[in-house]
């Protein structure tokens, strides 16, 4: 009888530990997902500021590591912060104006990597005329020194940008 009681208590203790670990893991995922979503919203805010010609917020949201990649709406693939940073500076110089926002965002989070997939919808201006933007985007973030930093941005191609920049 004493042994059965010890086995029951041990089983109950094990069950409590399992539930606690599930709760801790769930809480970690929820906190990471919140951090990745905030980083994504900072990126879109920086994108809209960049359309006005100010690239500084965009520089802030990106990792400056040599492994970052950019497959933007102008086409091509850029690797490393030197190339990626120059591409954002070139786009800022276009002063496209308008605004683009994420829609239908899906977030996947791991320990140090977070991914968002969504549509980007809005308007830019080319030669003073509004041009509709409606493309798919995948953004990848990495946890660096406690901050989620963008390490990759990949979108569909926008014909009006592929003709305007030389980032192919």
- DSSP, collapsed to helix, strand or coil, labels residue 65 as coil
Q: What domains does the chain contain, in order, with CATH numbers?
A: 2-162 (3.10.450.50)
109: left (phi over 0), alpha (psi -120 to 50) or beta: beta
Length of the chain: 168
For the chain, give the mean pLDDT.
86
Give the angle 54-57-59 at the CA atoms, nearest 5°: 100
Whether the model pTM is above 0.85: no
Print burial letters for 62-84: b (CB count within 10 Å at least 16), e (below 16): bbeeeebbbbbbbbeebeebebb
Residue 134 vs residues 14, 80, 101, 106, 164: alpha-carbon distances, Å: 51, 27, 10, 17, 18
Residue 25 has pLDDT above 60, yes or no: no
More confident residue, 167 or 43: 43
Q: What is the pLDDT of residue 140?
A: 98
Cα–Cα dist 144/64, whole Å = 11
Model pLDDT for residues 44-97, shown as the tens digit of each residue: 999 999 999 999 999 999 999 999 999 999 899 999 999 999 999 999 999 999
CB 154 within 8 A of CB 71: yes
More confident residue, 168 or 123: 123
């Amino acid at each position: 009888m004493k042994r059965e009681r010890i086995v029951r208590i041990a089983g109950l203790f094990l069950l409590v530990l399992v539930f606690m670990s599930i709760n801790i893991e769930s809480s970690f995922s929820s906190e990471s997902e919140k951090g990745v979503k905030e980083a994504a919203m900072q990126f879109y805010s920086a994108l809209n500021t960049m359309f006005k010609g100010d690239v500084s917020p965009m520089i802030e949201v990106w990792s400056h590591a040599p492994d970052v990649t950019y497959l933007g709406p102008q086409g091509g693939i850029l690797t490393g912060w030197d190339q990626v940073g120059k591409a954002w500076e070139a786009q800022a110089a276009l002063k496209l104006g308008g605004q683009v926002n994420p829609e239908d965002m899906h977030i996947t989070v791991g320990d140090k990597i977070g991914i968002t997939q969504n549509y980007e919808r809005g308007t830019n201006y080319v030669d003073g005329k509004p041009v509709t933007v409606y493309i798919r985007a995948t953004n990848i973030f990495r946890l660096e020194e406690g901050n989620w930093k963008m390490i990759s941005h990949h979108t569909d191609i926008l014909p009006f940008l592929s003709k305007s920049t030389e980032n192919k």
